[in-house]
Every structure is written in structure tokens, then in C-alpha cells.
Amino acid sequence: MRLPASRAYYDKKIAQGKHHTQALLCLARRRADVLFAMLGDGTIHEPQPAKWA
């Protein structure tokens, strides 16, 4: 994963006991939510530093 925040979120899900595929699906859902919000607001996504690192 290229974004540190994505890696941190993935690692958090793994630590919660999710399997690899489940963690990736959670991450994909999170990214889809951000994309949908961007389309609705007409804004550009500015990645935030990882909170879980």
C-alpha cells in the first residue's frame, strides 16, 4: 500500500482479527466512501497523516 494511512488502517483491521481479504474490503469501502463524498462535495481529497501508526 502506498499511502501510510491506508497501511495503518489495514494493519488496524488485521490487529482486530480480520483476514487479509476482509481487511482489504474494509479499506476499499473506506476509500469508496471518501470518493463518494468528494464527488458530492466537489472537493479534492487531501490525505491525512496516519492516526493509527
pLDDT tens-place string over residues 18-38: 999 999 999 999 999 989 999
pLDDT, greater one: 44 or 51: 44
- Identify whether the C-beta of residue 50 lies closer than 8 Å to the C-beta of residue 29: no
Whole-Å CA distances, 14 to 1, 30, 32, 42, 53? 14, 15, 20, 33, 13
Prediction pTM value: 0.74
Residue 10 banded pLDDT, cuts 50, 70, 90: very high
The separation between CA 10 and the C-alpha centre of its own chain, rounded to angstroms, equals 7
Residue 48 reports pLDDT greater than 80: no
What is the SS3 assignment for 15-47?
Answer: HCCCCHHHHHHHHHHHHHHHHHHHHHHCCCCCC
Tell me what percent of the residues of the chain surpass a pLDDT of 70: 89
Mean pLDDT value across the chain = 88
